[in-house]
Chains A and B, each alone.
Chain A
């Protein structure tokens, strides 16, 4: 048996993912939320978990530092990593949306200024629509951008829409559904086919059992 390395996003989603793995009979005994360790093994050490920043998970997988990654679709889309995307874990559900003032209409004849943490996602969405844009890359408080005139609209993750509402903004259009996905390195899928597939099957069964 070849060993598998799985990259997980640190933080809140990690706990959820570990629970799913444990439901699939993969136990990581020394894992607990408060731990600062970044590497964990299962009982027979056939699986190594590594914890990395969510945005880095696709890179780890694409470059082979991990065979498999479990991470939000938002990070996969933004990274443009060339990987297989094989499962939807059905957790962390939200949306990529374009948001702005409720009465804002997009003028197709001039470049739109878009503030976002996800410039690649924004560019892809608008280029498909044939809308020219100028992106303003921000690292947080994106909702502020239209209020202070930094941008016409924003592209961001929307969960409940409460943050938007409180800032007087509304969703103008949806881009993509987001949830936690399982991604696989293309070479590992070929060269460690048995191990990768049995891991995915195991996880899939567990997902089907949980409602």
Chain B
């Protein structure tokens, strides 16, 4: 017990272990849906990002100048570099690609160094624009949320096309658009009404915009309510798309975890269609965000349908901590203690055990210190938990250790 306490006190080891367990879980699950891991460089060409409008705020990018005076940026997002490398890969030619990534992204947001760095774990599915693809990605999000261990979570699903369509008709200034987005994102109905009244738009359009934040809740009910504000063919297509995806999701058996929220707006403006965010109990920030972004590929010379999402790993860890969902299965390494005559024996035993996957630390036995472990005495005697064994073969040693520890 003494040892265990000591080990736990090392915060860095502990928090890394928890993070790596979570990442392993996500990696395994992404892989079982047929996604393959990719990696992209942390330093990217600044111009790539600066030229893509309305994605990452330029002031939030962390820039570096290299020796030749070229401006580089620490990648602020995972989707853009992966879309680019996929678009530029001539051999792929439109075939379906299922990719995932787990890496850090960097944004300037005040505070110290660690708050500028965050780990994202995400998937991207390229080359398929069917509702089945949307549903597959959403189902994977739900599957992983469940597996991470949250009892009470909801995936909010919205559609970027809906709001964009209405806004296009309204012809707003940038300032008005930003205010409107803020009002919708905070479902601020109180201030929405006077705000819409002072805009020079038709009453019908005012009503449609006013309805958006309220289109929230059970998928079937919201789809029904949405019919009332359909103003043109494109909006009808959007509604049909939402309906199709919902039907596929029903067959995944996960409708209970879904909430439709047509007031969902993602600040990454590359999303074109379905968008979604995952919320877990009490955590006001989404733990994952995603959506369909069929036009981003064009920025790199190749149009291709694409949908994906990414976990904010650090927000998930924060949520796990708050929900006390962190299992403490911290197995301390075995301690092999030896008297001088048995040193060689202890080292070969350690090698054997390590090859079996046991974490092992070897130390000379110190009679004065309180040490707990497997003690190697002279003449092949081994003491485990106060019991002395005569060990002759490797198998005998492995048996004893397995009984004492319950195996690897």
**Chain A residues engaging chain B, CB cutoff 8 angstroms:** 61-65, 67, 81-88, 128, 181, 185-188, 190-193
Contact = CB atoms under 8 A, between A and B. Distances in A.
A185 B187 contact: no
B284 A62 contact: yes
Contacts of A84: 186-188
Contacts of B185: 82
B284 A181 contact: no
Contacts of A185: 282, 284
B89 interface: no
Chain A facing B: main interface SS = mixed
B190 A85 contact: yes
Nearest to B188: A85
28 contacts: A61-B284, A62-B285, A63-B283, A63-B284, A64-B284, A65-B282, A67-B282, A82-B185, A82-B284, A82-B285, A85-B187, A85-B188, A85-B190, A86-B187, A87-B190, A128-B175, A181-B190, A185-B282, A185-B284, A186-B286, A187-B280, A187-B282, A187-B283, A188-B281, A188-B282, A190-B279, A191-B152, A191-B153
A190 B284 contact: no
B235 to A, nearest CB: 25
Contacts of A128: 175
A193 B217 contact: yes
A187 B281 contact: yes
A88 B284 contact: no
B189 interface: yes
Given A85-B187, A193-B259, A187 B279 contact: yes
- Among A63, A64, A185, max chain B CB count under 10 A is at A64
Contacts of A62: 284-285
Q: Which of B188, B279, B285 has the most CB of A within 10 A?
A: B188
A84 B263 CA distance: 11
B217 A187 contact: no
Contact of A190 (B156, B186, B190): B156
For the residues of B in contact with A, the DSSP-based class is: mixed
B190 A88 contact: yes
Interface in B256-281: 259, 261, 279-281
A12 to B, nearest CB: 22
A86 B185 CA distance: 11
B107 interface: no
A85 B279 contact: no
Interface string B217-234: 100000000000000000
A187 B185 CA distance: 13
B75 interface: no
Contacts of B154: 187, 190-191
B21 interface: no
A185 to B, nearest CB: 5
Interface string B282-312: 1111100000000000000000000000000
Given A64-B322, A128-B175, A191 B280 contact: yes
Nearest to A179: B190
A126 to B, nearest CB: 13
A192 B154 CA distance: 10
Nearest to A2: B152
B194 to A, nearest CB: 9
Task: Among B152, B190, B279, B280, find the residue whose CB has the most chain A CB atoms closer than 10 A.
Answer: B190
Nearest to A81: B284
B335 to A, nearest CB: 42
B145 to A, nearest CB: 12
Nearest to A128: B175
Interface in B96-114: none
A185 B322 CA distance: 15
A101 B352 CA distance: 85
Nearest to B216: A189
Contacts of A64: 281-284, 322
